[in-house]
C-alpha cells in the first residue's frame, strides 16, 4: 500500500496494531490496505485515508442494507436519522445504505477506534433489519452469506466489482 505522507502511514500502523489487539482475526485487503472485522453480526470496513497534507481520516463503515428500494420515505428517514445520530452518518451509494464514522488519524488511540467501531456496529445492527422490513433489500451479513463476497464502499460507487 502506498501512503501519501507519514501521518497516514503511522495511523495505518496504529489501526493494524489496535485491531490485532481487539479482534481475533482482522483481515487486511492487500490491494487497498483496508481492514475488515466482525463485531457481533456486523461486518465493518476500516480505511485510513489521507486528509490534507498533515493528517489522516480513519473511516469505520458498514453496509447496512444492499439493494434497497429507493423510496422518498427512506431518503427522508435517513436524513432525519443523520440529524438525530450524534456520531456518524448514513449514506447511500447506488441502492446500498452505509453507516460510517470518521475520526482523525493523528490523535488515534485504542479507545477512540473501539468507540467508533462500537458506534458503527450498534447503529448498523439496530437499523439494518428495520430498513429491510420496510424498504426491501438484504442485510450485509445475509448478502455475504448468500454470495460469499462483498463490495467495498469505493468499489460500489465506481462500478468496480469486489
- For the chain (162 residues), the mean pLDDT of every run of 10, in chain order, is 93 97 92 90 91 96 91 96 94 94 96 95 91 90 70 49 40
pLDDT value of position 68: 93
pLDDT value of position 40: 74
pLDDT value of position 160: 44
pLDDT value of position 63: 85
Which pairs from 45-53 meet CB under 8 Å and 24+ separation? 45/152, 45/153, 46/15, 46/19, 46/113, 46/117, 47/153, 48/8, 48/11, 48/12, 48/15, 48/105, 49/8, 50/3, 50/4, 50/5, 50/8, 51/104, 51/105, 53/5
Amino acid at each position: 500500500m502506498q501512503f501519501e505522507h507519514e501521518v497516514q502511514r503511522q495511523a495505518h500502523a496504529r489501526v493494524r496494531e489496535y485491531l490485532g489487539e481487539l479482534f481475533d482475526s482482522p483481515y487486511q485487503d492487500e490491494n487497498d490496505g483496508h481492514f475488515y472485522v466482525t463485531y457481533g453480526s456486523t461486518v465493518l470496513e476500516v480505511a485510513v485515508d489521507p486528509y490534507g497534507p498533515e493528517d489522516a481520516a480513519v473511516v469505520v463503515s458498514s453496509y447496512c442494507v444492499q439493494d434497497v428500494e429507493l423510496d422518498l420515505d427512506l431518503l427522508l428517514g435517513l436524513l432525519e436519522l443523520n440529524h438525530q445520530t450524534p456520531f456518524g452518518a448514513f449514506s447511500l451509494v447506488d441502492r446500498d445504505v452505509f453507516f460510517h464514522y470518521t475520526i482523525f488519524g493523528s490523535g488515534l488511540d485504542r479507545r477512540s477506534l473501539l468507540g467508533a467501531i462500537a458506534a458503527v456496529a450498534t447503529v448498523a445492527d439496530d437499523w439494518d433489519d428495520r430498513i429491510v422490513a420496510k424498504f426491501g433489500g438484504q442485510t450485509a451479513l445475509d448478502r455475504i452469506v448468500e454470495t460469499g463476497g462483498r463490495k467495498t464502499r469505493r468499489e460500489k460507487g465506481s462500478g468496480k466489482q469486489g
